[in-house]
Structures are given as structure tokens and as C-alpha cells.
Structure 1
Amino acid sequence: MIIHSAKYLISSPSFDKCPPADKPEYAFIGRSNVGKSSLINMLTGQISLAKTSATPGKTQLINHFIVESSTRQKNKQQWYVVDLPGYGYAKRSQTDRRRWEQMIENYLR
């Protein structure tokens, strides 16, 4: 696969504010500060597409990126990469962490 471009699209505070499900979507979910955003940057070949931090809890919204790629079998196609807030430890209030958990659960349904 060749990635031709990857761009930030939108940060959504809730599932109903996310882009329509009109393209394939690949979401990264996991514990806080395990490298989800860094993995997105590595896969897209961009150093700072998804914001990273040494502090757990940097990603607080549902972040969509639009990627355009092609393979030998297919012409260019577009798809979403989604960076989700981490589960577990973060230097944030319990209220914030609970809100993130609910946001992620609604997104995954």
C-alpha cells in the first residue's frame, strides 16, 4: 500500500459529531499513553499528524484523519484513521475520564 496523503479532518466531542460513515474507518483504541497517536504518525509517514505527549491523557476527543492510498490492485481510495482517547490512567479528573469512557463506548457501538 502506498499512502499518498494523510490530513487532519476533525476532532469530535461525541459520536454524533463524527463524520458520516461513508468510508472505511480504522480506529486505534488502547490504554493511556501506549503510543496510539505515535503509531498513526508512523503508519502515515508524518511526524506530527496526530498530536503526541509524554503526559497521559493528551488525546481527549475523537480525532479523524483522512487518508488517501492505493495498492497495485486498486486505484486511489480514501479512508479514515481514528485516534481515540486512552483507557485507564490519565492525569485528569475522574469526571473527564468517565466522559471519555462514555464517548468511546458510544463510538464503538
Structure 2
Amino acid sequence: MLRNNKGYLLLEAMLGVLLISAVCSICLPFIYVANQEQKASKELLYAMTEVDLAAAKNSEGQEEATEKEWSQGGIRYELKTRKGVTDEYEICITFNGSNHKEYTTCASSY
């Protein structure tokens, strides 16, 4: 080596950059998937809130549950009423999340 050890060699700098880029290339796909799952969780929470509000309005007699569709944030939601297992009506919402999975959540209307 050189007697003047005041800096890094080019080879040492290249190895450092290579190590950092390898760690980033391994971690970035996992970060992307976690971000998509976080968005889908927020969308699911919104859908659950909407279906609970519709069930509450239906049980109080304020509004007859009907089928409706709308979009919010690029996601298309479908709200439908169907007859459940115990002959009571369920209000269900269906949507495709930002992680490309289909979600369905239901609430009973008394």
C-alpha cells in the first residue's frame, strides 16, 4: 500500500458502493410490497366504515339499502344488499385493492 494513508482507494470506494447497492436491491421490493399492503389496509378500513354506516342507516329505517357503485382514489367500490344465512339481510361491499386483491366485507342489518 501507499505510505500516505489519508484517503480511500478507488477500489475501496467501489466496493462500498457495490455493497450499498446490493442491500438496496434486496430491500426495495419488500418495501414496495409493504407500501401496497398499507394502502390496501386503508382502503379496507374505508370500506368497512362505509358498510357499517349503510347498515346503521338501514336498521334505523332512514334509508333503504340499495345497490350503488362509486370510485374514490382510483378504487371502484360496489355496495350490495343480499340475503344472509339466517334470513336477515347483509350489506356487503366489494372492491379490488391497490395490491390487486379482491376484498369483500359485510355487515348485518337488523
| Interval of TM-score (by shorter of Structure 1 and Structure 2) | under 0.3
TM superposition score normalised by structure 1: 0.27
Larger radius of gyration: 2
TM superposition score normalised by structure 2: 0.27
Higher relative CO (Cα under 8 Å, sequence separation at least 6) belongs to 1
